Amino acid sequence: MDKERILEKIESVVANGRVMVDEPMKRHTTFKIGGPADLLVEPSSIEEVEDVLNICRSEDIPVTVIGNGSNLLVRDGGIRGVVVKIAELLSDVSVYEEKIVAEAGALMSKISSKALEHSLGGFEFASGIPGTIGGAVTMNAGAYGGEIKDYVSAVTCIDSEGQVKEYSGEEMAFGYRKSLVQAEGLVVLKVEISLNRGDRDEIKSKIDDYTERRTSKQPLHLPSGGSTFKRPEGYFAGKLIEDAGLRGLRHRNIQVSEKHCGFVVNLGESKAEDVLNLIGVVQKTVYDKFGIQLEPEIRIIGEEI
């Protein structure tokens, strides 16, 4: 890739200062880990997203789309091509009667707060999910018995040919931690959520309850990628890891959380290699003891050094 030429092209459609060269990805993930991206772009409009993707498509440059990096581990060699970060600069949230329309970079907590403000119930479970709505739709995020699929009524995406399309909730083919976005390489631009009118005090009470549960049980004070493993059918990953005797297991500055064994946390300056090594030990130990293969829930991308 001719980095300088591509940089010039992208800067012609994205305001200066929001295109970064050799940008350390540890600045863009909640794990605080990751090697450099060749170019990282932060668009502030849907039109800018379209323009950047069109440039990359015409130049045959690989594109990696991220949100706020809350479910992401970037390997130490970084990411080749262009990273498009759809986050706070593309995060407007609007309410229309019992529907909320949010740009893909809007945080789940922001949408939950907006729902509370308008006495709309159903989205309380999402109040503490740290990701963006775009990322949540991509992986059908869920917590405390709720999943995104239960509330999404429409999703506007860019497909692999650069066409902007709207999909219904049913067309998104949601499954456990998967969706049409992953299957077809779509880029989420906007999401429409359908909720129900409710009692504001009851909605607030549910949010407070979920918040208390999260803060008391999860290691929110340390960098991590959220829940490290998917839930095996009929089991809980954290319980399996605890029963395998791995609570607090440490490899360099990476540790199985002492507070919640379903989380792998970063205790200091760390490398993705250390995370992957510890994940491997956890997977092998759990499999050897219980015959259950744990699958990572975090998205692992990028190149090794």
Strand 142-143 and strand 120-121: pairing?
unpaired
DSSP string, 72-129: EEE-TTBEEEEEEE-SGGG--EEEETTEEEEETT-BHHHHHHHHHHTTEES-GGGGG-
Give the pLDDT score at 15. 78
Question: Residue 288 contacts by C-beta under 8 Å, 6 or more apart in sequence?
Answer: none
Total-model pTM = 0.95
Average pLDDT over residues 206-226: 94
Note whether residue 212 is domain-resident. no
Average pLDDT over residues 239-258: 98
The verdict on 157 and 251 lying in the same domain is: no
Under a CB-based contact definition with an 8 Å cutoff, are residues 129 and 109 in contact? Answer: yes
The verdict on 196 and 269 lying in the same domain is: no
The verdict on 40 and 115 lying in the same domain is: no
Residues serving a catalytic function are 177, 227, 297
Range of the domain at 44: 3-88
State the CATH number of the domain containing residue 103. Answer: 3.30.465.10
Predicted confidence (pLDDT) per residue in 33-55, tens digit: 999 999 999 999 999 999 999 99
Note whether residue 209 is domain-resident. no
Task: Read off φ and ψ for residue 237, nearest 5 degrees.
Answer: -60, -45
Write the single-letter amino acid at 5: R
Hey, what are 158's tokens? Answer: 């860019």
The last residue of one of the domains, among 140, 171, 203, is 203
The last residue of one of the domains, among 55, 88, 121, is 88
Give which of 119, 87, 18, 72 is closest to 224, Cα–Cα: 72
Q: Which pLDDT band holds residue 168 (cuts at 50, 70, 90)?
A: very high
Strand 196-197 and strand 120-121: pairing?
antiparallel
